[in-house]
Every structure is written in structure tokens, then in C-alpha cells.
Structure 1
Amino acid sequence: METLLTTNNVWMMICTGLVFIMHLGFGFLEIGLTRQKNTINILFKNIFILTVGLLLYCLVGFNLMYPGEFNGFLGFAGIGLQSPITAEGLDLSYNEGYTYWTDFLFQGMFAATAATIVSGAVAERIKIVPFMIFTVIYVGLVYPIAGSWKWGGGFLDKMGFYDFAGSTLVHSVGGWAAIIAIALLGARIGKFKEDGKPGAIPGHNIPLAMGGVLILWLGWFGFNGGSVLSADPALTSLVLVTTCLAAAAGGVASFLVSTALYKKYDLTMFLNGILGGLVGITAGADLMNPTDAILIGLIAGAIIVFGVALIDKLKLDDPVGAVAVHLICGIWGTLAVGIFGSKAGFTQFFVQLEGAAVYAAFCCSTAFIILYTLKKTVGIRVSKEEELEGLDNFEHGMEAYPEMSTTSTEVKSSLMMNS
């Protein structure tokens, strides 16, 4: 038993490291798709989410999400982590697959991911302090309570709702908060023209964004692979195959559909299509065969293109496509469990639909209450002057690329003198 526990536990710790690396991928993706003048601000938010998120999950989140026996809606096992160490050593009765400590750390990485999704959607115009307050409440309370309803053995779990690794519990939970946030914030200056048509605000480093997507794809080996909760060779192998195939199919579908519609080979759409495929397969990666995974990915990739267009049509400003990727494809992946794979059927589909609706109602209402309260008290949007100048200087007093900035200023000054 101890040999099996060690093998399973090592695999889970490796997967924890892979999910940790995803935060680097999110950071690269977000700064790559936004402007240079806001780079420090975005990286600061991502580091804050990871560090404070882990501490909050240790203090309250883990025991809210996994309270043990509870009424199915709200339970709490107490403040802080409860040590499973006995006088004889490690208590192996906790779980045959992994230790208590590994369980906490793996799940803690997921908790931080939900708020990171919001960070990208609100980039370039949200005040840093209100965002931090929102993160503390959403990661500390909202996410674990919502998670307990399925992964903690709550009422949705009893109902038969299925979400293997978080298409809804992580991605949609973050996505619903993101869409509420961008609706309350409003669009960036210059995003929409006087006639209402969206204008392009190019990211400053697309190669960095591509690197971020590939890091996220790598991290998904841990995100989905670790959700097997053991090193079972057959199931972990299948999960990694379905995850990869869905990602590849999502990228190809997004590239083809966007090219057909806009007559341009759009790399950013290609990249978001890969992420859409990953989000789409996450709810049922352990249930699907390779063909199912490809179909789920293909549909997710097409959804990305139309989802981005829908967000623009609604005059919502999402700089990184977070809503299309995490919310819309998260819903799709959740519903796909009832359409493809070993659980497919009308009953399961409607259970999945009901579960998605429950999370929509809870996350939208809580995110709105938190953000609207902040908007009416301390304000959530920076001033016009701060937005135009960039948040790095105003909120952090530093620049991500000071040498480039200095060179640019010197060139401008020189041109003005020569003219």
C-alpha cells in the first residue's frame, strides 16, 4: 500500500507543479495581448492572486470546499489545515491515492486560477486595490463554496452533475465573474468607435502570448492529468490524449473559421482556439474517446470565433478573450458531458444544464454584489488620465521595459527638435 501511495502521491505532486506553471502562462498571455504600459500592473495582479489565494485557501477555502459531512449547500471544517501526522507518523487513512498535504496544494492551485481568469478580462482599466479586495472575497469564499457543491460532495454531486477537472467549477466560475466585471467597468478608451464598431487595440508582444499559451497547454497535463487523483496508467494516459487532441482540434477549428469569416490568418484567434479546446475537454476528459475529444475541441474552436464576435457586439471589452475561452467554452464543455462519452444521454445533459445554471446564478449574483459595492464606494475604474498614460507608472511607479521607454521618449524629443 505504501508503494502505491508513494507512486500516486509523486504523480500528484508533479501535476501540482504543472498547474503552478500555468500561472506563468496566464501572465505571459495577458501581457502579450495587452499594451506595454500596463505590463507591471497585470503581472502584479497575477502574483497577488497566486500568493494571497494560497494563503486564503489554507485559512478557510480548503475547509469550505471539503467540509466533510454537511448539508450539501454550506459547510466548514474549521480554520486552517488539520495535521494528519500522528505519533506513529503519517496517517495513511486519509486517502489511498495521495496525502492530505498534496490534496491541499493541488486544489489550492485550482483556486487561484479562477481569479486569474478575471484579471485578464479587466486588464488595463481596473484599480488595483478594488481588484485585490474582490480577489480576497471571491477566492476566499465564493469559489470554495461553489466548489463544495460538486467536489465537496454537495447537492450537485448528489444530483449527478459531472465536472471532472473544472470546465464549470474553475473556468465558468471565473468566467461569470469576468463578464460581470467588464460590464460594470466599461470598455477601454478607444475600443469602440463613435459608430459603435469595435476598434483594434493590439497587444504589444504576440510572441510572448504564444509562449503563454504553450505553457498553459503544458500545465493542462497537470490540470487534467492530476484530476485523476492517482497515477492510474490507463486513465491518466487517456486523459492526456483527450486533452491534447481537443486542444489541437480547437486551435485548427478556430483558425479555419476565423480565416473563412475575416480572410486573415489571425494568430491570436488560433491561440485562443487552443485554450478553448482545453477548457472544453476539461469537464469530461476521463469519459471521452479520441474521436469525442476531437469533436469537442472542434466545436470549442468554432465557439471561440463567434464568442469573441458576440462580446464585441454587446460592446463589452475583453482584452484577452477570457469570456469566450473560459465562460462560453466552459459551458460547452460541461454540456458536452451529456452529449459525448460514457455518460451521454438526455438525463445527464439536463443535469449538466441545471448545474451550469446554478453556478451562473450564484457566481453572477455574488460577483455583482462585490463589484457593484466596490464601484459605489471606492470606485473600480482608473481615471482617464491614468488609463491613457498607463497603469504601470500611476499605480506602481515603474515600467516593464524602462530602456525601451527611454529610447522611445528620446526619439520623440529628437523628432520634435528637428521639426
Structure 2
Amino acid sequence: MDEKTLQSILDMHQAMNIEVFYWWCTAIMFLIHAGFLAYEIGASRSKNALASGMKNVLTLASIIPAFYFVGWWIYNAFPNGLIPIEASAALPWSASMRPDADDMGTGIFFAAFALFGATTGSILSGAVIERIRLGAFLLLAVILGAGVWILAGAWGWHPDGWMLHKLGYHDVGAAGVVHAVAGFFALGVLLNLGARIGKYSDDGKPQVIAPHNMPMTLIGLMLIIVGFFGFLGGCIIFNTGDIGWTTIYGNRTNLSAFAFNTLMGFGGGVIGAYLSSRDPFWTMSGALGGIITVAAGLDLYNPGLAFVLAVTGGALMPKIGALLEKRGLDDSVGAFAVHGFCGFYGVVLVGVFAAGFPNVGEGVPDVSFTGQLTGAVVMAVTGFVPGWGVAYLLKKFNLLRVPPHVEVLGLDLFEVPAKAYPESMATESSSSVPARSGGVVAAPMDKRPDIS
């Protein structure tokens, strides 16, 4: 076998290794959505459990094809801002967007990015459980998962993105481009959606609406953490030749760096949230908050520093959730505190603790506090404005929220229709309604009731 043939075989196997790596990253990312499904089912009351689960399944099924038709093109067409560049190869009818035995890259990168987009939809899903119309939610989720976040990704994650080249923006684990964008989008929706019936007393004090199955919620959160390893694996570039691993910006890194700081972020976030809240729900959510807090600088931090930063993120997260609750915002699972706040906070922290780090590329600025703060604000605004705007329009046309009688009786009865626990003699649909509802009795299950 001559040297040229041997090199050709090695190159082929290297390309196959890259393809296999992202294949399994994408498969592991599906555990994020299994986790969100269990998390939201458990966090809902029993009368809304199945509706919450169906909403998660439909989120995946809606965002993935939408991302194929428009999202991948947005990422490739808008790195310079709001004026598109030529990106015809990313259009759904192009040769690269279909099976091709000679192309071992496009399909698996599309798949990983599509699952990133689906994650943003799942983040929104938890915030709005128990009162949003299914159709309105799916429209919002598609706009976020196949449009808004990937526009931010084109700006802040693309190797040619203007935020990298103008600001020196550094966000290797997508704390800003995924989590902050999705969290602030959810905040905009919540401002229009309003609180669940019974969440606030007549004098405006927040009331506890307890999850019907806290163990399921905790298991769901742990599944999300497992899925995060696939998510973060998809944030690192497996290169051919002798280059090795790099970040999405071209800086050298490796899986070891991600392993150190992901695990330290997990531990710090849990400890910080526990010390701050002593609450099981917030403690487990601290695992997410801690990882997101350090995600933007996973490749840069000393593990000890990552742990300390994650402790602060985990500790602040329940306080942010409580602050929103006192101001009348019913974020059912603390999605803004976990994703929006910790994502924003994590991006800014890179500017504090990694200022001066050199980015790759001629003329690309070093990491700076000003660049990171500006980048975090861009991510927040990019998420919030369309979230608020689209939800406002839906609200004006009475399409955003289910009618009060539907909310009282439970969304399972109207949108599935089925009972999550049919063996139970008494469910919240018929017996555990708020006093102000007048004690409405559940309708029979033999036909779908009117939701209008």
C-alpha cells in the first residue's frame, strides 16, 4: 500500500470519527428533552400533566423541521447583522441539505444545531405551563427555536460573526446564544401571559402552587444534566488533521477542559442553590444554573474558579426567581432565573475573569469586560423583544391564553383529552379547583370540550 493510499484511508476514518462524535452528541442531547418532559410533567398539577408532556414532544417535532427549512440558512446568512450574505448552500433545496455519501459534515452539524434550537423551545415550555394555548406556544417555540436563537448564534457563535470580530465575544458553551436568549424570550412572553389562576391572593401575595410529583421533577432535572454533556460536546469542534479540538471560535481546547469545568459547575451550582434556598426544586435547578454560569468560559477557567463562580450563580438564582414572583411574574419552573439570568451573568463573568484572553484571527479583539457586557445585552434584547412582541399580538387577538374555565378544569381535559392518572377517584380537574372558580365540576371524558 503506497503512502497516498494510506493517507486517503486515514483521512476517511478521521472524517468518520468526526461524524460519529456529533452523531452521539445529538443522541445524548435528546436526554435533555426527556428530562424537560419529566421535569414539566412533575412540576404541573395532575390536571395538566399530560398537556405538559405533549407540549414537550410537539416542541421537538415542530422546531426540528422548521430549523431545516429556515434555521440553518439563517445561521449561515446573517453573521454580519440583519443583512443576509450569500448562503444558498444552506437552503433546504440545495445539494448539501440531503443525503450525500461524500459529505460527512453538514448533516450532523445541522442535527446538533437543530437540537440546540429545540432546547430553547423546551426552556420556554417550562415557564408557561398550565395556561398557554398549545397553538400559541408552538408558534412561539418555532419562532424562538428556528429563528431568534440562531440569529443570535450567527452573530455570536459563527466564526465570522460580527460580535466576535467587533467585540471579541467569547461564549463557548452557549450561555448567551442559547440560554440567555431563551430566558429573556420567555420573560417577554410571561409579561403578556399573566399568572396562573390562584397564584396570587386578593392582596397580591404569591401563593405556592406545588408540583404534583416532585420526585419526577428531580429525575427530569438530572436527565437534563446528562443531556448537557451531549450539548456541550456539540459546542466543541472536532477537527481533521493535526489541529485537534478547538472552540467554535478556533481557540485550542479539549474535552478535558470541558469535563473539569462542567463538573465543577454542577457541584458549585447545587451547593450555592441549596445554601440559598434549602428547597429541593431550586437545589436541583442549581445544577443547571451552575453549569450555565460557567458555560461561556468552560475552556478558560481554572476548575477552582469555576466552582466558586457556579456557587454564586446557584445562590443568586433562587433570589432572582423570588424577585420576579414578588413582582407578579409567574415563571412556573424558574426558567428565567436558571437560563436567562445565569446565561447573562455567565457571559459577563468571562469579561471579568478572562479579560485580555487573545482570540484567534487577524484583527479580532481580545476578550474584554466591555465586549462581554455588550454581548450579554445584545443577547437579552434579541430574546426579549420578539418574545414580548409576538406574545403581545397573540394576546390582542385572544390567542395566547386558554379561557379561565379551561384553566380551572385542567388542560388535559381539553387539549389531549385524557387523564394522567385515570385510576384516581378524585383529581384536581374536579376537586382541587381554586375557591374563586365556584367549584366547577369536570365534564365527562367521552368527547373533547369546547376550548373557545
TM surpasses 0.5: yes
Counterpart of 1:398 in structure 2: which amino acid? A
Instruction: Give 1:262's aligned residue.
Output: none
TM-score, normalised by the number of residues in structure 1: 0.88
Instruction: Give 1:249's aligned residue.
Output: 268
Q: Match for 2:400 among 367, 374, 380?
A: 380
- Report the CA distance shift for 1:343/1:6 in structure 2 as closer, same or farther (over 3 A): farther
Q: Does 1:208 align with 2:237?
A: no
Counterpart of 1:50 in structure 2: which amino acid? L
Instruction: Give 1:199's aligned residue.
Output: 207
Matched-pair contact (CA < 8 Å) for 1:73–1:149: no
SS of alignment partner, residue 138 of structure 1: helix
Q: Which moved more, 1:59-68 or 1:110-119?
A: 59-68
Q: Does 1:316 align with 2:329?
A: yes
Q: 1: CA distance between counterparts of 2:198 and 2:76?
A: 45
**Structure 1 stretches lacking a partner, 5+ long:** 92-97, 259-264, 413-419
Instruction: Give 1:162's aligned residue.
Output: 170
Q: 2: CA distance between counterparts of 1:411 and 1:46?
A: 27
Q: Does 1:42 align with 2:49?
A: no
Instruction: Give 2:143's aligned residue.
Output: 137
Q: Match for 2:189 among 175, 181, 200?
A: 181
Matched-pair contact (CA < 8 Å) for 1:58–1:81: no
Q: Does 1:149 align with 2:155?
A: yes
Structure 2 counterparts to residues 11-410 of structure 1, below 5 A: 11-67=21-77, 71-75=80-84, 77-78=87-88, 79-80=91-92, 82-84=94-96, 89-91=101-103, 99-152=105-158, 153-159=160-166, 160-230=168-238, 235-258=254-277, 265-341=278-354, 348-404=368-424
Counterpart of 1:104 in structure 2: which amino acid? F
Q: 1: CA distance between counterparts of 2:290 and 2:49?
A: 27
Give the CA deviation at 1:400.
1.8
Q: 2: CA distance between counterparts of 1:303 and 1:164?
A: 22
TM-score, normalised by the number of residues in structure 2: 0.82
SS of alignment partner, residue 320 of structure 1: coil
- Which structure shows the higher helix fraction? 1
Give the CA deviation at 1:347.
6.0
**Structure 2 stretches lacking a partner, 5+ long:** 1-10, 246-252, 359-365, 433-452
- Report the CA distance shift for 1:302/1:389 in structure 2 as closer, same or farther (over 3 A): same
Say how many residue pairs are matched: 399
Matched-pair contact (CA < 8 Å) for 1:142–1:363: yes
Give the CA deviation at 1:301.
0.7
Counterpart of 2:200 in structure 1: which amino acid? F
Q: 2: CA distance between counterparts of 1:89 and 1:113?
A: 29
Give the CA deviation at 1:242.
0.7
Give the CA deviation at 1:236.
0.6
Give the CA RMSD over aligned residues: 2.6
Matched-pair contact (CA < 8 Å) for 1:287–1:343: no
Q: 1: CA distance between counterparts of 2:99 and 2:313?
A: 51
- Report the CA distance shift for 1:182/1:83 in structure 2 as closer, same or farther (over 3 A): same
Give the CA deviation at 1:7.
2.2
- Report the CA distance shift for 1:343/1:119 in structure 2 as closer, same or farther (over 3 A): farther
Q: 2: CA distance between counterparts of 1:386 and 1:225?
A: 42
Matched-pair contact (CA < 8 Å) for 2:185–2:385: no
SS of alignment partner, residue 264 of structure 2: helix
CA deviations on 1:161-187 (whole Å, 9 max, x unpaired) are 111121111111111111111111111
- Report the CA distance shift for 1:62/1:252 in structure 2 as closer, same or farther (over 3 A): same
- Report the CA distance shift for 1:81/1:172 in structure 2 as closer, same or farther (over 3 A): farther
Q: 2: CA distance between counterparts of 1:271 and 1:67?
A: 38
CA deviations on 1:116-160 (whole Å, 9 max, x unpaired) are 111110111111111122223332322222221122322112121
Identity of aligned residues (%): 33
CA deviations on 1:58-110 (whole Å, 9 max, x unpaired) are 11101111238x6443426243164349999514xxxxxx6111110011100
Q: 2: CA distance between counterparts of 1:140 and 1:246?
A: 28
